[in-house]
Amino acid sequence: MHDRAPEFVAVRRDIHRHPELGLSEHRTSELIASRLASWGYEVDRGLATTGVVGTLKRGSGSKRLGLRADMDALPLQEFSGVEWASVHEGVMHACGHDGHTAILLAAARQLAEEGDFDGTLHLIFQPAEEHPGGARLMIEQGLFERFPCDAIFAMHNMPGTPQGVLVFRDGATMASSDDVTITLKGTGGHGANPHLAADPIVAAASIVMALQTIVSRNVNPQKTAIVTVGTIHAGRANNVIPQDVTMELSVRSLDAEVRDLLEARIKALVATQAESFGVKADVLYKRDYPVLVNTPAETEFARQVGLELVGPERVILQGPAANGSEDFAVMLEHCPGSYLQIGNGAGVGSCMVHNPGYDFNDDNVAIGAAYWVLLTQRFLARP
């Protein structure tokens, strides 16, 4: 794989230079589809607008394997300073999806030319992982009916972990993510006469503080729960009490029961707090990505592949759960499988994802592709 790595490093940098937001990955989709077709894959396009699925069948085996890579960028201005930086204002690959795509393409080529396996391989290039959730869209449009899988796997880079180290975890691995919009409607008035108004700003301030008691006093301390107030919008003048306030929250957990509890308590707390201040509250609660749960058997299989490929010194058998979210979780609700991490580098210069200075570590193209090749050959082993 190392001999081919420069070709796919160049592909990765080309995708990085031309980032595209979710459901608009037309150039990236064309690049992927054309290469897969040239290597002999049966290529299907159009799921979730820009999704691509490449299928390769060998022998008469009945087993079916899915490998997924995400390919969308983020609405972020790049300040990495690299030669292959984004040419599009306000859009960049700040999460490494360019690298994930290049890794799977590199594996695709080697499997097409040299892969020894018996069964069906589906390579799923998914749009809109960041927004609005391409996994759910692909599934709703028939992904697993058209391309059934006995197991599905995905890989994501992780800054802070040494480059090339493979991290596995069974069970709850990444948090659910819910979006909440709270609108408080009061009675506006002059700042000099607050007694003649119903001030939604005061209510909002109380609600912000009270929300934190849900985590500290309602959730089991041994469980993960996060309630973050990310935005508050109200007023335009210091001497005017506004009519309304809008607040936006991010709510996360690693347990379905905790997720339900958070929703119930947020709605109840906001309603009662607002009433106590004489204002009305409207809560729009949107459940977004679920908890990502890796199935035990598939994760153990993935671990063994990692140990075989890089040895125990380069494998973390059971890494910590993460509070970030990932819409591969939706695929795992429909198919057993596992989501692993590959270290993007630790120490000085290892910038976290979703940062304007981030860049994918190109040394991971070879090791990531080699992992997918070995996993495919072990999962679809000849009898």
Please give the structure tokens belonging to residue 382: 């000849």
Contact of 358 with 374, CB cutoff 8 Å:
no
Check residue 241 and give its pLDDT.
98
| Tens digits of pLDDT across the chain (383 residues) | 667 899 999 999 999 999 999 999 999 999 999 999 999 999 999 999 999 999 999 999 999 999 999 999 999 999 999 999 999 999 999 999 999 999 999 999 999 999 999 999 999 999 999 989 999 999 999 999 999 999 999 999 999 999 999 999 999 999 999 999 999 999 999 999 999 999 999 999 999 999 999 999 999 999 999 999 999 999 999 999 999 999 999 999 999 999 999 999 999 999 999 999 999 999 999 999 999 999 999 999 999 999 999 999 999 999 999 999 999 999 999 999 999 999 999 986 689 999 999 999 999 999 999 999 999 999 999 88
pLDDT score of 1: 61
Instruction: Name all contacts of 25-34 with Cβ < 8 Å and 24+ positions apart.
Output: 25/50, 25/71, 25/72, 25/127, 26/50, 28/71, 28/101, 29/71, 29/125, 29/127, 32/71, 32/101, 32/105, 32/125
**Contact by Cβ (8 Å): 47, 53:** yes
Instruction: Give CA torsion, residues 96, 98, 102, 103, to 10 deg.
Output: 20
Site of tokens 């090339």:
164
Looking at residue 382, its pLDDT comes to 85
Alpha-carbon gap, residue 221 to 298, rounded angstroms: 30
Q: Cβ of 130: how many Cβ atoms within 10 Å?
A: 20
> In the chain, what are the domains?
5-174+291-379 (3.40.630.10), 176-289 (3.30.70.360)
Give the end-to-end CA distance of the chain in Å, rounded to a whole number.
25
Q: What pLDDT does residue 350 have?
A: 83
